[in-house]
Structure 1
């Protein structure tokens, strides 16, 4: 085995597909290919997967990802039809067939994993969500949030990366932040973001990763967070919520049950509070003004 190989853990029944991130004589550091999970495992516990397309965990996840992505596209098509109907009403009121323009919510996405960030930005581009992404270690995120929020002024902030309940921990209390790998870092970043914008509708915050301290993240000011059931969440779950927030009208609240159902991890993976969307429609669409003559 070598760095970069795809493997599963025999002791866990091969439930998650991993890529070997680091390797020494006895121990391997693994990164989940689909889930935001970093784990250590003895090399004899690993089983090499030569064809990732045939790996059972990967197959199951791909089905869920395809379902979630298709759901997003269908929701987007429904929204566009509704906006077109509203446009026709506005056109009749103005006695003019003026085409509308869309202003989806702008996303700032901070990710502790470079490969997951790449996947996330691809999905934002596919769904035409204006987004800026930055890869940073989770411990750096509070300082980065403080620096970037005034510069970028996003509508939606995603704070994610790697997390998990520590095997070797001082306390077995799962309500104690010391029991988690990075939940304290996420909480600190959310707290700083909420100091910058106190309104939950002014700045929508999506925070957390696998097994994160859901309650602490909400208490610190997040609108949506992981993980109520302390389960592994899919790498794209925070992105899905951000896209829904970006394309939900500012006149409406995000349908909590619907958006959670649409994630890959479901109700044990993510939760949140009632929040207004960030999508706006404008009228008329900006024109090309090359033919305008100066009057002054």
Structure 2
């Protein structure tokens, strides 16, 4: 069967370990984007295998199991944070909580529209205010400053697809990465806009991105310390933790990383304060009617 743009495929040369969407076809080469991982790859058409619906269903079930585990861990942490806030916002649990929360607002730039939808769905499920924008990675630096001025976010996510291309240089050369330079440029623009790392918290990177470059550019959190693939939803779990943590507290780096799907081999960061503010009093207009 002829392979077409939009098909789901796997690579024989990698034992069909990952599923990809065919993004573009050029002669005998296909440009691929990871179905669940933020990875770009090129592959000869002869190396590709069309994935059956049965195989996709089986893979989705495996991925969902991993995603559900991360979601449960995050909800457990969120519940503990809420209980602590209720204790501090009321008379030590002796009355109903009388506070309201202003969670950190997220501006999420994503190079993949499919992933952006998955991420915004999860943000909404977690109760995180978000403004999502789909842009090709190379277009992000051009649009970022105007978006920052319009949205006024507390947290910025700059992600999409990336990959280390061995033929372009060794692992220490930024030019050997497909999109790290665009992510790093975005971080520098954002830091010029807001230099303080606790006033604008930044996550940058995708699969195999050059972690050190992104951190040095000014990111609080980035991928990928060991140049491995990261899951599509990992940026959400990191910034959601920041969004739901009080600005008076530092976010525990270990707590942030352990709730992700990829873990500390694919994600890292620096000490960072939360972005949420608690206010008093909470007024329930429904009761006053």
TM-score, structure 2 as length reference? 0.92
* Aligned partner of 1:254 among 234, 244, 251: 251
* Aligned partner of 1:210 among 173, 194, 207: 207
Shift of 1:84: 1.9
Q: Is the contact between residue 249 and residue 277 of structure 1 (CA under 8 Å) also seen in structure 2?
A: yes
1:197 and 1:259 map into 2 onto residues whose CA distance is 23
Q: Hey, what does 1:54 align to over in structure 2?
A: 58
Q: Hey, what does 1:268 align to over in structure 2?
A: 265
For residues 76-100 of structure 1, give each alpha carbon's deviation from its aligned partner in whole angstroms, at most 9, with x where no partner exists: 22222222222322797xxx86721
Q: Hey, what does 2:43 align to over in structure 1?
A: 41
What secondary structure, in the 3-state scheme, does the structure 1 residue paired with 2:161 have? coil
For residues 232-284 of structure 1, give each alpha carbon's deviation from its aligned partner in whole angstroms, at most 9, with x where no partner exists: 11111111101011001112111101211221111110100000001121111
The change in CA–CA distance for 1:200 and 1:24 in structure 2 (over 3 A counts) is closer
Q: Is the contact between residue 90 and residue 98 of structure 2 (CA under 8 Å) also seen in structure 1?
A: no
Q: Hey, what does 1:28 align to over in structure 2?
A: 30
What secondary structure, in the 3-state scheme, does the structure 2 residue paired with 1:284 have? coil
* Aligned partner of 1:19 among 7, 18, 21: 21
Q: Is the contact between residue 7 and residue 46 of structure 1 (CA under 8 Å) also seen in structure 2?
A: yes
Unaligned 5+ runs, structure 2 = none
2:274 and 2:50 map into 1 onto residues whose CA distance is 44
What secondary structure, in the 3-state scheme, does the structure 2 residue paired with 1:89 have? coil
Q: Hey, what does 2:242 align to over in structure 1?
A: 245
* Aligned partner of 1:76 among 65, 75, 78: 78
For residues 134-182 of structure 1, give each alpha carbon's deviation from its aligned partner in whole angstroms, at most 9, with x where no partner exists: 001111212222112122111000000111112431x32x222111111
Q: Structure 2 matches for 1:196-235, cutoff 5 A?
A: 196-235=193-232
Q: Structure 2 matches for 1:53-132, cutoff 5 A?
A: 53-55=57-59, 58-89=60-91, 99-132=98-131
Q: Is the contact between residue 86 and residue 93 of structure 2 (CA under 8 Å) also seen in structure 1?
A: no
2:39 and 2:104 map into 1 onto residues whose CA distance is 29
Q: Is the contact between residue 209 and residue 227 of structure 1 (CA under 8 Å) also seen in structure 2?
A: yes
Shift of 1:287: 5.3
* Aligned partner of 1:283 among 262, 265, 280: 280
Q: Is the contact between residue 98 and residue 283 of structure 1 (CA under 8 Å) also seen in structure 2?
A: no
TM-score, structure 1 as length reference? 0.90
Shift of 1:24: 5.2
Q: Is the contact between residue 228 and residue 268 of structure 1 (CA under 8 Å) also seen in structure 2?
A: yes
Unaligned 5+ runs, structure 1 = 292-296
Q: Computing the radius of gyration over CA atoms, which structure comes out larger, 1 or 2?
A: 1
Q: Hey, what does 1:8 align to over in structure 2?
A: 10
